[in-house]
């Protein structure tokens, strides 16, 4: 399978997939009264762009050696990841109905022993980025042309393990690695800057030897152009700061810290589904 190519219809396809993902993530969390919708919805446009406009993969061969690798470091955002994998054909879409049930393969955090398409188990924050770095270094050493992408939350950037990975990636010039930061500026209970300030996040990554691009994380053209750009002669790892809105797409959820792990009641669910059209 070849790497996805951008066409005039790419943004329409990605927009349709992202809407489908939001609808199904909302239903999954409502039905089970468990989940992290706010972070799901801030990240869904990034994942839809990756899986339907950027990544090289074959769902029939999840371990295909030439696949691009994607690591969901913010592992609590399974509503976004599972709907992306289902839409991409890694497993039947009706598996989404089993979300967080006893003995389900769709746990609250992704497990690569259970689900095809999951590169590594994540959940404890700050672990996915270092693992993705190791995957990228392995490809660099082997001379492989696969690309490695990792998505972290911005609150997750407060974990020291991320900065060890950032320093190592910059020092080694791991040019096949792309870090995407879901910069919705909210974490559990508060704003990131009121908890443990991150800004100037762009300058910090530049100081560690990264190429940094800041974009609108809900604008498909910017996402495609930035994430889909060929590695080419790039000599640095790429940090993409994707400015997003927590709860994007549902009016009463947007930019509200309580929706980090809030779950909708019947009235809220009905309103959300009316808006997600």
For residue range 29-56, list pLDDT tens digits in order.
Answer: 999 999 999 999 999 999 999 999 999 9
The rounded mean pLDDT for the chain is: 95
First to last CA, the chain: 32
pLDDT on residue 189: 87
Please check whether the domain covering 10-275 is classified as CATH 3.40.50.970: yes
Length of the chain measured in residues? 277
Two structure tokens written together for 50: 């990756």
For 140-156, write each residue's pLDDT tens digit: 999 999 999 999 999 99
Two structure tokens written together for 17: 């997939």
CA 132 to CA 149: how far, in whole Å?
7
Q: How is the chain split into domains, by residue range?
A: 10-275
Backbone phi, psi, residue 185, to 5°: 65, 15
Beta-carbon-side half-sphere exposure of residue 143 (alpha carbons within 13 Å): 0
Which of 228, 235, 225 is CA-nearest to residue 3?
Answer: 228
For 218-269, write each residue's pLDDT tens digit: 999 999 999 999 999 899 999 999 999 999 999 999 999 999 999 999 999 9
* Degrees to nearest 5, angle at CA 243 with 125 and 219: 125
Under DSSP, the state recorded for 228 is: S
Q: How far is CA 128 from CA 73, 105, 125, in A?
A: 4, 20, 7
Place of tokens 């002669």: 233
């Amino acid at each position: 399978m070849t790497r996805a190519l951008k066409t005039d219809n790419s943004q329409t396809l990605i927009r349709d997939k992202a809407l489908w993902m939001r609808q199904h993530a909302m239903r999954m969390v409502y039905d089970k009264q468990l989940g992290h919708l706010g972070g799901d919805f801030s990240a869904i446009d990034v994942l839809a762009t990756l899986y339907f406009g950027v990544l090289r993969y074959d769902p029939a061969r999840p371990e295909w050696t030439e696949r691009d690798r994607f690591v969901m470091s913010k592992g609590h955002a399974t509503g976004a990841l599972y709907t992306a994998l289902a839409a991409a054909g890694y497993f039947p879409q009706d598996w989404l109905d089993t979300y967080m049930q006893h003995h389900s393969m769709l746990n609250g955090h992704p497990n690569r022993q259970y689900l095809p398409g999951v590169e590594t188990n994540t959940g404890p924050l700050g672990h996915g980025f270092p693992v993705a770095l190791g995957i990228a270094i392995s490809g660099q050493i082997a001379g492989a042309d696969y690309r490695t992408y990792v998505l972290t939350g911005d609150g997750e950037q407060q974990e020291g393990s991320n900065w060890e990975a950032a320093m190592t990636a910059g020092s080694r010039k791991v040019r096949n690695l792309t870090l995407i930061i879901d910069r919705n500026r909210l974490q559990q209970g508060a704003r990131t800057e009121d908890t443990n300030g991150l800004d100037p996040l762009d300058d910090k990554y530049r100081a560690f030897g990264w190429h940094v691009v800041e974009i609108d994380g809900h604008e498909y053209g910017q996402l495609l152009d930035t994430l889909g750009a060929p590695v080419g002669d790039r000599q640095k790892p790429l940090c993409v700061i994707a400015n997003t809105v927590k709860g994007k797409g549902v009016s009463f959820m947007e930019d509200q810290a309580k929706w980090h792990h809030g779950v909708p009641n019947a009235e809220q669910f009905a309103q959300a589904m009316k808006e997600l059209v």
